Amino acid sequence: MNASLSRSVVVCGSLLLIAAMGVNSWAQEGVKDILTDDLEMTLPPPVVDGAVEPVIAIDTLDSINIESIGIQDEVDGGFGPDLWNDTSRTELESLLSLLPTSVQSSASHNLMKRLLISSSPVPIKTKDSKNLLEIRLQKLADLGEFSHFGNLLSAIPESSRTKTMRKIQGEVFFMQRDLESACSMASTEVQETSTPFWQKALCICQAISGNLDEALFSLNLLRELLGAKDVGFLELMSVLLGQMPTTTLTLEASALNLVLLIENGLAMPDQWLSEGGPAIQRSIALTETVPLMTRLTAGERAAQMGALEPSELAIIYQKIVFEDNEFENANEIVVEKKGPWGRALLHQASRKKQLPQHRAKLLLESWKNSLEISNVIAIASTNMEAWLSLPVHHDIAFAAPTVIRALVAINSSNKFRNIQLDDGRIADEINYQQLLNNPQTVREGLSGLLVQAVRRGDKPAALQALAQAIVIDPHDPWLLKHLIALRLQLWLELLTEGAETDKEYDDWLISLRPILSIADIETPIAWQAAMAEHWWDNLPTEMDLGTRLAQASDLFVALHALGYSIGTSGWGLLRQGPVIQEEQVPNVGIRFGMNDASRSKRVGDTLLFTLIALGEMGISDAGPVALGSALRNLHRVGLTSEARVLALESFLHNGL
């Protein structure tokens, strides 16, 4: 089957086609391309933010500090019982409060979320201590992690819930557009507290339920009680009650102001869309009554911040309506019309029935476009099926380096990064083929055959088992991660074979080796110090020295921090730049605290200091000193996989 790719291909809704096409078409006979109509959505339905009954990761509440409660233990992906060993109470409270929730980094967001929901004994509080559960719940709400917020709150006994916790819960209900629960809560809380938040909430609820006289009465009372900082709320309420047409004030980004903007049908402030935190962005993106382009802008920001799953962003992309001529000329159109609209067009266009070469070019343009906003991981993940559908073939080898980077990006996303492909539970001596005869055990049988085939390096058998399993469960993340891993291997094999006779293929491999090493992707040749120089020599000749040095400095420092050798001559390359360089670095107190925590093996403190040091811009904006320090200290306390994910995000977003 060493023919050129002259037929149109699409992505099969069941992902069967993707798995079947995984066998190299130049090396495997008998595998046919299955053609269907335009790509159907196979993404799972969006997650509902409502709380579910959590599994409390504490055995007996009476025997431990109630603040140690979590909803994720070490088995489920939490950081384990030793997280806060040797941490002082005062420092823990201070560092948790300093966590930057509006971080432009999905990787940092995910680390914060895991830390906040982990079950682990905390230092005993004193009479002057802050409530750690209040801090954790507030941070989860600010991160837009509404589902995890609800689960953690549900794990806290009613008797231990404070007024502050209930206020945060009310804000979350409003952010989720669960107005029934929010208003029910407001009606109860105003009877027990005179907090302005609940009085404002009740006024909103009265207005949107049609009780205008009561709302007007409440608003008049609030005008006497509230100060200058609430003038935005008062004007928005006046608009809702028909007392004024609109407001021109600069509005604070808050849950109540967001509800009023939506209920009034007013445009979201530009400042909210450009600077708002993940909770605001997620809420805007998922509100059906907000204009679609506004939702799309907020959705991309929320996904970049880790508050919106790529599958949720893809659903918003799918809602934009395009003309046929726009699909036909997508690559040319997005050059002139970039931004969220252009990325939505590329997303939909790449899912149409088309030649592989055309799909590859659309995906390359999408990747290039997403680099401009440092959001390649989220946007590549929205296009996961299209990337996986590209047949591994020399006719589209021009796309191979970017395809590999995209698959590495998808594999490092929140959905897949913590999934083990082989946890040792599949036994080599068991005949899993026998389980295929029973409908109740066929999925288990296929999983066993898949893992056994992967262990012995039998890719055709692995892909055959995978194709059948995906038909049964097309959204299973474990199966999808196996598919990503197998496709990565096949693309790398294509480049490796081609590099034997074609220098261009060899150059592509050289450019990929640092990323593959950081991602811990197995390759025929392990990282060696000389590869740093090879990578430098392989950089585009048109790249200026300043850009070369900037990329090399970050890359060499990150590799060294993760335990890879650069070599004396490799470091010598960096001396071509200025002797003294400027860089924004965390203050001395943060840097000293981070180093001291990691050398003392205080895992939780090290993680907190690292996240604070990286700041709201995240690791993609960090210079070599901050980058190296963050990765080195995480590596030192055993958080090497977390350090790899941060480094990958930085380098993928910065075009390496």
Domain locations in the chain as residue ranges: 1-46+347-501, 48-161, 503-653
- Name the stretches of the chain with pLDDT < 70: 1-64, 75
pLDDT score, position 619 = 86
Is residue 362 within a helix (H) or strand (E), and if so which, with residue range?
helix 356-371
pLDDT score, position 31 = 31
The single residue listed with the structure tokens 């893992």 is: 451
pLDDT score, position 49 = 52
What length is written for the chain? 656
Residue in 604, 610, 608, 611 with CA at minimum distance from that of residue 633? 610
Helix, strand or coil, per DSSP, at residue 316 = helix
Backbone phi and psi for residue 483, each to the nearest 5 degrees, phi listed first: -65, -45
Is residue 64 within a helix (H) or strand (E), and if so which, with residue range?
none
Helix pair angle (310-319, 292-304), 10° resolution: 160
The predicted-structure confidence for 547-561, as pLDDT tens digits, reads as follows 999 999 999 999 999
pLDDT score, position 113 = 96
Q: Tally Cβ neighbours within 10 Å of residue 85.
A: 16
Q: Tally Cβ neighbours within 10 Å of residue 184.
A: 13
Beta carbons of 388 and 394 less than 8 angstroms apart: no
pLDDT score, position 584 = 84
Separation of alpha carbons 306 and 328, rounded Å:
32
Helix, strand or coil, per DSSP, at residue 9 = strand
pLDDT score, position 43 = 45
pLDDT score, position 26 = 34
pLDDT score, position 434 = 94
Residue in 223, 175, 168 with CA at minimum distance from that of residue 200? 223
How would you class 87 by CB atoms within 10 Å of its CB: exposed for 0-12, middle for 13-18, buried for 19 or more?
Answer: buried
Beta carbons of 361 and 386 less than 8 angstroms apart: no
pLDDT score, position 38 = 45
